[in-house]
Structure 1
Amino acid sequence: MSDLNWTLSVGMVPTGDLPELARAAEAEGWDAISLPDSVFFPEQVSADYPYSGDGKRMWAPDTDMPDPLVTIAALAAVTERIRFRVSVLKLPLRDPLLLAKQVSTLAVLTGERLELGVGLSWMPEEFRFTGTEMRTRGARTDEAIAVLRAVCPGEGPQWAEFHGQHYDFDRLIISPAPQRPLPILVGGHTEPALRRAARLGDGWISANLPAADLPAVIARLEELRAEEGRADVPFSVCVSPVGVDDAAGFDDLAAAGATDVWLNPWRFHAHAVADRETRLESVARFAAEFIRR
C-alpha cells in the first residue's frame, strides 16, 4: 500500500456520535478527521448543487451539520493525536478577522492539529441571507486567505496589518496564536479554484471526482504550481475519489500525485445508511484492510 495519509470524512453523522467516532478513528490509526461546513439549509435554492449528477442536494433539511470549528474543539478535547480538517469552510461568508480569532484560538487549543480547508460557496441564498456579496466572492476569498496568513504566520502572536480592496485594518495582535503557520487547503475543481490552490494554498481538496478524472486534474495543478514558482513547496493533494474499491486503485492515485485520501468508510463498504455500530465497524475494518497494511 502506498504511503498515503487517510482522513475520515464524518459529514452528516449525528452530532452526538462524533466524539466516540473520533476516539475510534484515532485508536485505529486514521491520520485525520474532516468536517464539512453548511451554515443552513434554504428551502428554495436558485442554483444547482455542483457535486451531484442531477444538481439536487442529497441530504434532508434536518440532517446534522454542526459548525465545524465548534465541533473540532469538542473532538480535540477527547483525542490526543488525530488531526482535524475543515472541508471546506465557506470563506467569503465570514469576516476574515473574526475568523482569524476563531482559528487562531482553535489551533492553539488543539495542539496545532488544525488544517483549514476553504472554498467559495455555490449557493446564492447563503450570500443573500448572510448579507455578503456573491459577485466578489473570489477576490474576497483571496484577501481573506492573506488576512489569515498575516494573523497566523507562526511563532505565536505577531503584529499584523492588512490593506486590501475588500478588507482593511491597521496594526494589531491576535492572541493566542499558533507556533506554526496555519495550514490552508483550497477546495474546488474549476480552473480559478485550481489556480487559487496553486498560488495561495498549502494543499488542494477535491470533492467526489471520479478516480479516472483525478490524474488529469492533479497534473494541471502541478502545471499551475510550476507557473507560480511553487513546485518545490510542500503541498498536500487531498482526494475524495469515486470508483476506487481496492488497494490497487489507491496505489494508482498515489502514483498520480495524491498525498491524502479523504473518505467515508461505511459508504466505501456499501452502507448507504449507517447506524452507530456500522460506522464504528467500518472505521475499524477499513483501517485493518488499508491503513495498517
Structure 2
Amino acid sequence: MEFGLHLPNAGPFANGPDIMRTARTAEELGFHSVWLFDHLFTPVNLESKYPYSPDGSYAMVPEFPFYDPVSCMAAVAGATERIKFGTRVLIPTYRHPVVLAKELATTDAIAGGRMILGVGAGWMAEEFDAVDVPMQSRFARLDEHVALMRQAWQKGTVAHEGRFYSHCEAGFGPQPPQPGNTIPIIVGGHGDAALRRAARWGDGWAVSAAGDQLSADADKAVGERLATLARFCDEEGRAIDDLLLVGQGFLGMPADAFRVQAGLGIDVIDLIAFAPIDQVIDDATKFMTEVAPALT
C-alpha cells in the first residue's frame, strides 16, 4: 500500500502558494501521489444532500475558496518531477469533453505521464443547473464523455456523433505519453451504478461507501462494496486485482486504521488534512518517517 497527500485546493486553508508547497513537499517526502477535489462553487442555499455524511450535510461553505483542479494539476506538473497527481474526483460533465481531453493530455504530456484521473457523475443539482446540464442525464453523459476522451487520446484523432456530443473528424494532440496513449481513469461513487462503470470501463475505483466515512462500520461497508465490485468485474471478464483502488483517510489516523484498509486490498490512501500549512507539513513528515515505514 502506498500513500498520497491531498492538496489544499478547497476549504478554509486553501490558497495557491500552499497548494504548490504541499505538492513539492509531498514529492520530497516520497509520497506516491497528490490529489485534488472538484466543485464549481458552494451555493449559499444548498438544497442537495451530500451523500458521504450521515445527515447529508456538507462541510464546505460559500466563503471557502475552491481552486480548479484542472488548472492546479498543470501547475503541479511544472513544479514537480516524479510524483503522480490526480483528481478524487473530477466531474467531467461540467466541461466539454474535447476541451477537457485537450487540457488533460497537455498537462500529462508536460509532466511526462504522471496523471491519474478520478471521475464521478456528481451529486450537486445546483452545479448542473448553473452549467445548463440536465442532472438526470449525468450517468449516460459520463459514459459518453469518457469514451470520447479516450478515443481522442488513443487514436490521435476525434470523430464523434453521439447522444450528447458531436465533433467533426479532426486530428488530436498531444496524446498522453502513458502506456496505450491514455490516462488511467478511476471511477468515483459508492452505488452499484458506479461500481458497474468501474468494472466495465474503469482503470480503478475511488473507494467509498455511503454515510460516515469515519464510523465504526465504515470498513465493513467498504468491504461489502469491494465484494460487489469483484463480482461485477467477474461478470465483465475482468479481475478486481487489475484495478487501482484509491482509498481515503486523514493524517493523524491510527496505524491500525491503515492496516485494515491494506487488508481490504486498497492500493493507495489519499490522506486529507484541513489545517494550516505548517501543521500539514509537520504531520506529513511525521507520517512518512514514523508511520508509513511500519505499514509498507
State TM-score, norm by structure 2.
0.88
What is residue 141 of structure 2 aligned with on the other side? 140
- CA separation in 2, counterparts of 1:29 and 1:242? 17
1:205 and 2:206 correspond = yes
1:225 offset after TM fit, Å? 0.8
- CA separation in 2, counterparts of 1:124 and 1:274? 29
Which one of the candidate residues 216, 230, 242 is aligned to 1:234?
242
Which one of the candidate residues 5, 8, 20 is aligned to 1:8?
5
Secondary structure of the corresponding residue to residue 238 of structure 1: strand
1:247 offset after TM fit, Å? 3.2
Q: 1:111 to 1:133 in 2, by over 3 A?
A: same
Question: What amino acid maps onto 1:9 in structure 2?
Answer: H
Q: 1:182 to 1:138 in 2, by over 3 A?
A: same
Secondary structure of the corresponding residue to residue 101 of structure 1: helix
1:111 offset after TM fit, Å? 1.3
Report if aligned partners of 2:247, 2:269 keep a CA contact under 8 Å in 1: yes
Q: Which deviations, in whole Å up to 9, do the C-alpha atoms of 1:233-272 show, x marking residues without a partner? A: 73101111589943333233222221111122x4xxxxxx
1:66 and 2:67 correspond = yes
1:52-131 aligned at under 5 Å gives the runs 52-131=53-132
What is residue 48 of structure 1 aligned with on the other side? 49
Report if aligned partners of 2:250, 2:271 keep a CA contact under 8 Å in 1: no
1:167 offset after TM fit, Å? 1.8
Report if aligned partners of 1:29, 1:292 keep a CA contact under 8 Å in 2: no
Give the gaps of 5 or more residues in structure 1. 267-272
| Structure 1 residue ranges (4+ consecutive) displaced by more than 4 angstroms after TM superposition | 241-244
Q: Which deviations, in whole Å up to 9, do the C-alpha atoms of 1:176-195 show, x marking residues without a partner? A: 11122211111000110111
- CA separation in 2, counterparts of 1:71 and 1:184? 18
Which shows bigger deviation, 104-113 or 162-171? 162-171
Q: Which deviations, in whole Å up to 9, do the C-alpha atoms of 1:187-210 show, x marking residues without a partner? A: 000110111111111000034732
Report if aligned partners of 1:15, 1:64 keep a CA contact under 8 Å in 2: no
What is residue 269 of structure 1 aligned with on the other side? none
Identity score, percent = 32
Question: What amino acid maps onto 2:254 in structure 1?
Answer: D
- CA separation in 1, counterparts of 2:74 and 2:111? 7
- CA separation in 1, counterparts of 2:32 and 2:55? 33
Report if aligned partners of 2:248, 2:271 keep a CA contact under 8 Å in 1: yes
- CA separation in 2, counterparts of 1:170 and 1:32? 36
1:217 offset after TM fit, Å? 1.0
What is residue 159 of structure 1 aligned with on the other side? 157
Which one of the candidate residues 210, 221, 227 is aligned to 1:219?
227
Report if aligned partners of 1:211, 1:243 keep a CA contact under 8 Å in 2: no
Question: What amino acid maps onto 2:38 in structure 1?
Answer: D
Question: What amino acid maps onto 1:64 in structure 2?
Answer: P
Q: 1:25 to 1:241 in 2, by over 3 A?
A: closer
Report if aligned partners of 1:211, 1:242 keep a CA contact under 8 Å in 2: no
Question: What amino acid maps onto 2:169 in structure 1?
Answer: R
Q: CA RMSD in A?
A: 2.0
Secondary structure of the corresponding residue to residue 194 of structure 1: helix
State TM-score, norm by structure 1.
0.89
- CA separation in 1, counterparts of 2:244 and 2:176? 20
What is residue 183 of structure 1 aligned with on the other side? 184
Secondary structure of the corresponding residue to residue 240 of structure 1: strand
Report if aligned partners of 2:35, 2:86 keep a CA contact under 8 Å in 1: yes
Give the gaps of 5 or more residues in structure 2. none
- CA separation in 2, counterparts of 1:245 and 1:276? 18
* Count of residues in Structure 1 that have an aligned counterpart in Structure 2: 280
- CA separation in 1, counterparts of 2:238 and 2:167? 28
Question: What amino acid maps onto 2:110 in structure 1?
Answer: L
What is residue 256 of structure 1 aligned with on the other side? 264
Question: What amino acid maps onto 1:226 in structure 2?
Answer: D
Which shows bigger deviation, 213-222 or 9-18? 9-18
- CA separation in 1, counterparts of 2:250 and 2:283? 17
Report if aligned partners of 1:29, 1:291 keep a CA contact under 8 Å in 2: no
What is residue 270 of structure 1 aligned with on the other side? none
What is residue 34 of structure 2 aligned with on the other side? 33
Report if aligned partners of 1:244, 1:250 keep a CA contact under 8 Å in 2: no
Q: Which deviations, in whole Å up to 9, do the C-alpha atoms of 1:101-148 show, x marking residues without a partner? A: 111111111111111111111111111111111111100100011011
